Amino acid sequence: MKFCKVFVVLLTVVAILLIPITASAALYQKGMESNEIMKLQNDLASLGFFDVEATGFYGDITYEAVYEFQKEYSLDIDGIAGNQTLSKISEVLQNVNFNEDTGKNLLYEGMTSEVVRLYQMKLIYLQLLDCDATGFYGILTKTAVITFQEGFGLKQSGIITEETASLINRMVQTKVAVLGKYGELTLTDENPAVSALQTLLAGMGYYNYEITGYYGDITKRAVIAFQVAYGLHVDGVASTTTLDLIKRVITEAGVVKNSTIYQVDLLMNWFEEVQYLFKRNDTARVYDIWTGKSFYIMRTFGYNHADCETLTALDTAILKSLYGGEFNWERRPVLLYTNGTIIAASLSGMPHAGRDDMPKDAWVPDRSENYGTGANLDAIKGNDMDGVFDLHFYLSRTHFSNAIEPRHQDAVMQAYNYGISHLY
């Protein structure tokens, strides 16, 4: 999936802000040609006054568009884009916001907002947009809107007007309705509702695979990612509660949440901070800085450091892939994303002290990795992993020796340095 180019909006904002404060007033009129005039034409198009391709040449059509804009906003009417007109265009562009209740205003190229992100998700769900829902209304979003408008015989402006928004919403509501016909969705289910679920999760950025209609491990993991992001009970089952929230997120602007916004607080002390932030039964995403791979975990045990388990068999497969396909005690620098915070950590990928086939906390023999008889440290079943693996943080300690382990601390500092250079 392509990324919308967010940086373009910065250039647009800078250009807009410069217009009213430039010492020498700009002035554009018939016969002139420049990139600035092309921007003027795009701005007028965004406001509904210019409905042909921007060329950068100030001809009769541009003159008429400026003339109509000046008349609409009670300016001096001369068809010339002087400082007064340019300032007013800038003001209107900055103040026009889409009203979700009335839909009377516009969403247009160059805007950045949560409502833009909502409509991007809807266009992705309608399979018209091949772009992450970033909240920036770029050329890919505009093209998708034009395609939608063409299909319904609307004016192909690339602007989400009241009429366009209404039709998009109606189409999404019709498709979303299928989710209520099959009840709860879970592993091995195969029906149209699963296809709808996969497409909705794709629009939100949680599912990046083929739409199959089959609820396998990949779909379960996408549901888990959504549940983690929105603070739901994490089990990978598309329950009525999960489905209702998914439907609300794709249809209501007020529910849209950017789950990628985290506080960066990398070097947190385990005993003073992390153990209270990342509590037992809390879920998190582990990001391996050497490979760029991520997987989901839950802290299930541990007191001197976090003893964790993968949430699904797919997460276990990703964990093993970090070590060439096998479990390994090797320390790896990772970042932990949990409860709105990014923390530097050290991963040791060897499950131990548990049996997946026995109840949690039961007194069992033959615990994994030669841990003998003892309490079964395995809470999550069916994840292709026996027991727990270690996750260390700044100044955390080992369980048996109660000592700060240098290799773990080295890995924590590697993760910290990576975060400093990549996240700030």
Which one, of 186, 210, 380, lies nearest residue 281 by Cα?
380
Which one, of 159, 150, 156, lies nearest residue 107 by Cα?
159
For residue 367, what is the DSSP state?
A: E
Residue 153 has pLDDT above 70, yes or no: yes
Q: What pLDDT band is residue 186 in, cutting at 50, 70 and 90?
A: very high
Tokens 């950045």 sit at which residue? 112
**3-state DSSP percent of the chain in helix, strand and coil, to 5:** 40, 15, 40
Q: Distance (Å, rounded) from C-alpha 197 to C-alpha 175?
A: 10
Contact 68, 82 (CB under 8 A): no
pLDDT (average), residues 11-15: 32
Rounded mean pLDDT of the chain?
84
Contact 388, 263 (CB under 8 A): no
Residue with more model confidence, 301 or 95: 301
3-class secondary-structure state, position 51: coil
CA angle 298, 299, 304 (to 5 degrees): 160
Three-state secondary structure string covering 332-352? EEEEEEECCEEEEEEEEEEEE
Residue 405 is predicted with a pLDDT of 96
Residue 404 has pLDDT above 90, yes or no: yes
pLDDT (average), residues 199-228: 86
pLDDT (average), residues 211-215: 93
CA distances from residue 401 to 348, 397, 398, 405 in whole angstroms, order as listed: 17, 8, 6, 9
Tokens 């943080």 sit at which residue? 393
Q: Distance (Å, rounded) from C-alpha 136 to C-alpha 109?
A: 8
Dihedral sign (CA 25, 30, 31, 36) = positive
| Distance, first Cα to last Cα, the chain | 25
Dihedral sign (CA 242, 245, 250, 256) = negative
Contacts of 63 (CB under 8 A, 6+ apart): 29, 30, 79
Contact 154, 164 (CB under 8 A): yes
- Side chain identity, residue 391: L
Angle between helices 240-251 and 114-125 (to 10 degrees): 110
Q: What pLDDT band is residue 27 in, cutting at 50, 70 and 90?
A: confident
Tell me the pTM: 0.50
Label the pairing between strands 263-264 and 341-352: parallel
Please write the tens of the pLDDT for every residue from 282-315: 888 898 999 888 888 999 999 999 999 998 888 8
Residue 95 is predicted with a pLDDT of 55
Contact 238, 227 (CB under 8 A): no
Please write the tens of the pLDDT for every residue from 41-59: 888 876 768 877 788 899 9
Q: What pLDDT band is residue 11 in, cutting at 50, 70 and 90?
A: very low
Residue 3 has pLDDT above 90, yes or no: no
pLDDT (average), residues 154-167: 86
Residue 180 has pLDDT above 50, yes or no: yes
Tokens 């369980």 sit at which residue? 399
Which one, of 371, 319, 373, 324, lies nearest residue 349 by Cα?
319
Residue 24 is predicted with a pLDDT of 38
Residue 220 has pLDDT above 60, yes or no: yes
Q: Note the residue count of the chain.
A: 424
Contact 98, 159 (CB under 8 A): no
